[in-house]
Amino acid sequence: MKNWRRYEILLPTEFNDGRAVPKALLAETILELEIRFGAVSSETQVIHGRWRSQGKTFRDDLIRVYVDVEQSEEVRIFFTGFKQRLKGRFQQYDKSGSSATR
């Protein structure tokens, strides 16, 4: 029996400065996961998030993307790097409040 794990990613529909994320950028991200793992799922329902950093409150509208994959060290390493690439791609702040670069 294989050991499976679900990786969920919340993608913003707006950059931190309020500009809309181009749909092509969302599609590129979903396609990248489909190519890598052979399947990907996404939800179009908007998820509303709030978070604080350095005394400032941020609000996010997000979509959920997820993949179910066989658990392995290779997959874990992929998603660790993928998270960093997505922070740059979507120009997201990290918890310290500094902006990620692409």
pLDDT in tens, 33-67: 999 999 999 998 999 999 888 888 888 899 999 99
Q: For position 101, what pLDDT does the model report?
A: 42
Taking only the tens place, the pLDDT of each residue in 2-27 is 799 999 999 999 998 889 999 999 99
**81-97 confidence digits (pLDDT tens):** 999 999 999 988 765 55
> Residue 48 maps to which CATH number?
3.30.70
| Structural domain that includes position 65 | 4-89
pLDDT above 90 coverage of the chain, percent: 71
| Domain-located, residue 11 | yes
Give the model's pLDDT for residue 51.
84
Cβ neighbours for 24, distance < 8 A, ≥ 6 positions apart: none
User: By the 8 A CB rule, do 49 and 10 touch?
Assistant: yes
What pairs with residue 12 in β-bridges? 62
The answer as to whether 98 is a domain residue is no
Task: Note the pLDDT of residue 95.
Answer: 57
Task: Count the domains in the chain.
Answer: 1
